[in-house]
Structure 1
Amino acid sequence: MSTQQCPCGTGKSYFNCCKIVHEHHEKAITAEMLMRSRYVGFVYADGDYLLKSHHAKTRPVHEKKEIVKWAKSVNWIKLDVLKTSKGNLEDTDGYVEFKAFFFENNAVQVIHEKSYFIKEKGRWYYYGAV
């Protein structure tokens, strides 16, 4: 898996991109980096990572099985990051607007979301859609 291109769209290998964040959450130094790693978490149906990177106040604790089941049931196509606001190394919050394309029920579907992220104790967390 070391040479496989990362599904997040950076052009890097998975090994040199989102895998680092999946294994070491604190390595996501920006909100966008965390958002990209969460998209890849959906691509690989990594329920543990998706919950770990979701802020405790908004984390869907009891839906892990449903999230994993759904993530496995669709074919992920690509991620387009449209805009970021704040969410840099020195920030404590930020926004990332994106489109995640997937194939479901014989049609291309898209999730278009502006996500809010919070950094606590040096780690970024997905808080929710705004």
Structure 2
Amino acid sequence: MFDPSARCPCSSGDTYGSCCGRFHSGETAAPTADRLMRSRYSAFAVGDADYLLRTWHSSTRPPGLDLDPGQRWLRLDVLGSTGGGLFDSEGTVEFVAYLRQSGVRDSLHENSRFVREDGHWVYLDALA
């Protein structure tokens, strides 16, 4: 369990409990594609595989997800987005996520695609 009073891993500046923790617990759903992407990053950081699977589109969701406990997620930089707002049905979010694995720093640069499924934002895939 991640400390709700700790700074949220998504780099918002808010506490985990008032930021991504609300989405992870199911208290509320992410209102935009950007918030969903940030909450998914935080789910990787806190090891919440169930949330990642719940917020993955049914057509691309894997049957299971094993998170590597040796990965430490360090920082998230959002580079830009298209669509994904309160009244949109699709959107993209480009980001760079920084991590350390086996003592080596690395980064993941992705332009993720999000759509609404059953009224909620979900991760569809990464654009090539």
Structure 1 counterpart of 2:102 = 105
Structure 2 counterpart of 1:16 = 18
Task: Out of 109-118 and 19-28, give the one that drifted further.
Answer: 19-28
Match of 2:96, SS state, is strand
Q: Which runs of 4+ in 1 moved over 2 A?
A: 24-27
Give the number of equivalent residue pairs. 125
Structure 1 counterpart of 2:9 = 7
Identity, in percent, stands at 39
- Correspondences of 1:1-130 after superposition (within 5 Å): 1-24=3-26, 26-62=28-64, 64=65, 66=66, 68=67, 70=68, 72-130=69-127
Amino acid of the structure 2 residue aligned with 1:106: G
How much does 1:28 deviate?
0.4
CA contact (8 A) 2:55 2:123 kept: yes
CA contact (8 A) 1:26 1:122 kept: no
CA–CA distance in 1 between the matches of 2:125 and 2:29?
20
Match of 2:44, SS state, is helix
CA–CA distance in 1 between the matches of 2:101 and 2:90?
32
CA–CA distance in 1 between the matches of 2:58 and 2:13?
31
When the two structures are superposed, what TM-score results if normalisation uses the length of structure 1?
0.91
CA contact (8 A) 2:37 2:93 kept: yes
Any stretches of 5+ residues in structure 2 without a counterpart? Answer: none
Higher helix share: 1
How much does 1:27 deviate?
2.2
Match of 2:11, SS state, is coil
Amino acid of the structure 2 residue aligned with 1:24: G
